[in-house]
Structure 1
Amino acid sequence: MRDTIFALSSGAPPAGVAVIRISGPKVRFGLETIVGFVPAPRTAKLATLRDGSGLLLDHGLVFYFPAPASFTGEDVAELQIHGGRASIAAVIDCLSRLPGYRLAEPGEYTKRAFENGRMDLTAVEGLSDLIRAETEAQRRQALGQADGALRALYEDWARRISHARAMIEAELDFSDEEDIPGSVSDKIWPTMEELASEVASHLAGAKAGEIVRDGFRIALIGSPNVGKSSLLNTLTQRDVAIVSDVAGTTRDVVEVRLDIAGQLVLLQDTAGIRDSDEVIEQEGIRRSKAAADSADLVLELRDARLLENNKEIESLTDRTTLAVWTKADLVSVSEPATPDGAILVSSVTGSGIESLLACIAQKIKECQVGADEILPTRTRHQQYLSVCHRELVTAIETITAPTELRTEYLRNAANSLGRITGNVDVEDLLGVIFSEFCVGK
């Protein structure tokens, strides 16, 4: 018989209320032992919790969710007790001594929900992302995925492919029958072309989905003492980086997480770029350039005092770049002329910071066209979708190939979709996916 698992599913103690979740075949036995009865399904019942010897453990609310209408698809109970460490430890200790009971492993509740058909893998991943969501955009995207938006889309695509295969095979097997149309292929392959186009469009939005989930990367690039660390501290509103007049203070990439316009932003302060013979500084400069290469946006910082002499600085990167002129408070001219598209800021007075934030928000928006749609959010989604698209295109374009071979390409395409949702051969993925969860979920 399968173990009955239990764990603290609420936040770390102390807290006002602690929720201990139990799932498995011996839930009713556990309730009868500790509470003395099994409450009506999905109904809160105030109860006294005692151990096997009758010792009082706590008072709390008890819920019972019989299978299969529960989160895991098994019998589930929740004990809502006082959130003190001693109360939680007493109940956990009592449960651990019940036969067939053990502490849950990380993600085990969700894994059982998947195994019992309550969730597919995309919903599991969406739930994981929802737990970790830091911004409003992440919350919306993760909640849609956890609610089955991706699953519905991919299962519809798989159904359409299965229908196409069935019609083609029917034409092959019953070509002499009058009720089987002789021009099935004339209708099926155009529908597969439409589907291939939908998959390609879906894949094209993967970058927007990744930015929401993983964050929009911004690298602060510029020469030493141009004000990168000062700007980082101003944008984060705290002293994250050391600020000094000594050139080369920043030797490594310093990354902080910000919420800008509801989007997660990973802001990176980097070492000043200049010619140097010092080994450690050279490594810092190499990392700075690597950060610029991988960034979604580069803020190329320049000292605004150079504007007074109409000097120009060579661009440091050919990526999407926003020129930011710093140290505006040190410029003697009240309103120095800046190149088109550049922003003039001061980390001392705060002037231009709001304009800079608005410009960053606009850049993020431009990179997230279609982000409100249903989009793939993980690399494994993209890999299987790419295989699906490739197999669809191959089936469509190999006109001279035997029909049986073309239908095999369609089968491969459908299997790739099944691997995303967990319907086909994903055993090797399960440990990786569920290890992301905390104990109690």
Structure 2
Amino acid sequence: MQVGDTIMALSSGALPAGVAVIRLSGPLVRAVLPKLVGPLPKPRTMALRHIGQDKRLDQGLVAFFPAPHSFTGEDCAELHVHGSVAGVKAILAKLSQDGLRLAEPGEFTRRAFENGKLDLLAVEGLGDLLLADTEKQRQQALARYDGGLTRQIDTWRDTLLNLRAEIEARLDFSDEGDVSDALPETWHHDLADLEIALAATLATFESGRIVREGIRVALAGPPNVGKSSLINALARSEIAIVSDEAGTTRDVREVPLDIGGQLFILLDLAGLRETESRAEAEGIRRATEAIKHADILLWLRAPDVTDMALPQTHARIITIGTKADLSLVPDTDLSVSVEHSSGIKDLIQILQAAGESFATGEPVLVSHERDRNALTQALEALVETREALRDWELAAESLRRASAGLERMIGRLDSEKILDRLFSGFCIGK
């Protein structure tokens, strides 16, 4: 990204389309836009204009957003034109002749961050919102984008500043008679309350991660127990290969499924058994690893397949008897028959109930691994502060580390590498 450039991009979907949105941002917008569409429209007001003054290229709606009251904080404009491949190409070519260049992925949002319009948490929320597939993901991303977590962190930072002020007063003015050696009782209460608040927020991380990444549901059992058939029935699509030949599944296949607004990732795994095939053995190893890290394990048992011991897992286990059209398997939580389409709706209801138990009613704002690391660092620093109160310098340093952890979450420290990684996943035009 080159600072000072004026950028442009097609911000809407692939062409051809009913409408195409071309977005502009940078110092040349105010000078270039009149050459293309005539007099500048009133700020933040759509105006119908001919696109191209010397040579008409199209007709569409034009909006102008003067700095600093725009998404990026720079002068911005949007052209809502017909979604013609040739038309959009001609408009971009004309703008290029006037000194604009095509934007890089995420460059509009990066400029918004660098100009103080968004903090890093809001940027991540926007990225999550663009990628949201389910209703719960949308709610979570929008709450983060709207600044819910930022406001919480600002409150914690204010508390930390007050705690640090008391400690540093004893460092800087220890000889003054009006500075007591003992910390006020309220100081200890505030430190304890802050520890509790950080710990409570950190405890919600797993729920937030599950909403953002999806609940991982491993379908496991011996070969030919009906894993692939059940995946196809749940997804209502012939996604997985179904065969009566043992060992046909040799990799971990992920199938996303929206159940009640919650994303579930169904994992079709290799059947677990002893084998001399190196390829199948690798598939079984991957299946075992997937089971260890799953949130829910659907352990499948069939009347025509010898059962085996459950593998090690921390997942919630639901035992499913498959092939109920042949006969029922005893001691299971549910019996299903893909052949007769029985029990499938009941299984979906069980998964939905399990998903609701993983997630809280309100959107969880802590959902990125970066959040967990920063909160853990801040919490550990507060514990060290309490242990270092006999040495004011050590206590002050621990409080500074706690503040730094929270500053990193917002993006005020060490943000460059995070930004490079984050914006590389954004689409061009955003």
Q: TM-score interval w.r.t. the shorter chain? A: over 0.9
2:378 to 372, 380, 388: 388
Q: Is the 8 A contact 2:223 2:246 kept in 1?
A: yes
Q: Is the 8 A contact 1:149 1:374 kept in 2?
A: no
State the match for 1:137 in structure 2: 136
State the match for 2:310 in structure 1: 315
Q: Is the 8 A contact 1:304 1:344 kept in 2?
A: no
| Aligned-residue RMSD, C-alpha | 1.8
SS where residue 68 of structure 1 aligns?
A: coil
State the match for 1:55 in structure 2: 55
State the match for 1:202 in structure 2: 201
Aligned pair 1:422/2:411, yes or no? yes
Q: Deviations over 1:223-246 (max 9, x none)?
A: 111111100100000000111111
1:357 to 337, 348, 373: 348
Aligned pair 1:66/2:66, yes or no? yes
Q: Is the 8 A contact 2:5 2:26 kept in 1?
A: yes
TM-score (norm 2): 0.95
Q: Deviations over 1:181-228 (max 9, x none)?
A: 665443212211110111111111111111111111011111111111
CA distance in 2, matches of 1:376, 1:328: 42
CA distance in 1, matches of 2:242, 2:159: 60
State the match for 2:91 in structure 1: 91
Shift of 1:374: 3.9
Shift of 1:313: 4.1
Q: How does 1:157-168 map to 2 (within 5 A)?
A: 157-168=156-167
Shift of 1:425: 2.9
CA distance in 1, matches of 2:247, 2:97: 60
State the match for 1:111 in structure 2: 110
Aligned pair 1:289/2:285, yes or no? no
State the match for 1:146 in structure 2: 145
Shift of 1:48: 0.6
Q: Is the 8 A contact 2:167 2:395 kept in 1?
A: no
Aligned pair 1:8/2:10, yes or no? yes
CA distance in 1, matches of 2:279, 2:417: 41
Q: Tell me the matched-pair count.
A: 427
Compared CA separation, residues 175 and 302, structure 1 to 2 (3 A): same
CA distance in 1, matches of 2:41, 2:77: 10
State the match for 2:333 in structure 1: 342
Q: Is the 8 A contact 1:8 1:440 kept in 2?
A: yes
Q: Is the 8 A contact 1:23 1:74 kept in 2?
A: yes
Q: Is the 8 A contact 1:168 1:185 kept in 2?
A: no
Shift of 1:7: 0.4
Amino acid at match of 2:25: S
CA distance in 2, matches of 1:363, 1:63: 47
Shift of 1:3: 0.7
Q: Deviations over 1:409-441 (max 9, x none)?
A: 101100110011012232222111111110000
Shift of 1:176: 6.7
Q: Is the 8 A contact 1:218 1:296 kept in 2?
A: yes
State the match for 1:220 in structure 2: 219
Q: How does 1:11-26 map to 2 (within 5 A)?
A: 11-26=13-28
Identity of aligned pairs, percent?
Answer: 46
Which sections of structure 1, spanning at least 5 residues, go unmatched?
none
Where has structure 1 moved over 6 Å in runs of 4 or more? 176-179
1:431 to 407, 420, 426: 420
Which sections of structure 2, spanning at least 5 residues, go unmatched?
none
Q: How does 1:175-194 map to 2 (within 5 A)?
A: 183-194=182-193
Compared CA separation, residues 233 and 212, structure 1 to 2 (3 A): same
Compared CA separation, residues 263 and 21, structure 1 to 2 (3 A): same
CA distance in 2, matches of 1:18, 1:174: 64
CA distance in 1, matches of 2:175, 2:309: 74
SS where residue 57 of structure 2 aligns?
A: strand
CA distance in 1, matches of 2:410, 2:361: 21
CA distance in 2, matches of 1:201, 1:86: 55
State the match for 2:320 in structure 1: 324
Q: Is the 8 A contact 1:67 1:73 kept in 2?
A: yes
Tell me which moved more, 171-180 or 154-163.
171-180
CA distance in 2, matches of 1:37, 1:374: 46
CA distance in 1, matches of 2:143, 2:114: 21
SS where residue 325 of structure 2 aligns?
A: helix
State the match for 1:399 in structure 2: 389
CA distance in 2, matches of 1:28, 1:138: 38
TM-score (norm 1): 0.93
Shift of 1:373: 4.7
SS where residue 9 of structure 2 aligns?
A: strand
Q: Is the 8 A contact 2:302 2:329 kept in 1?
A: no
Amino acid at match of 2:333: A
Aligned pair 1:27/2:29, yes or no? yes
Amino acid at match of 2:91: V
Q: Is the 8 A contact 1:212 1:263 kept in 2?
A: yes
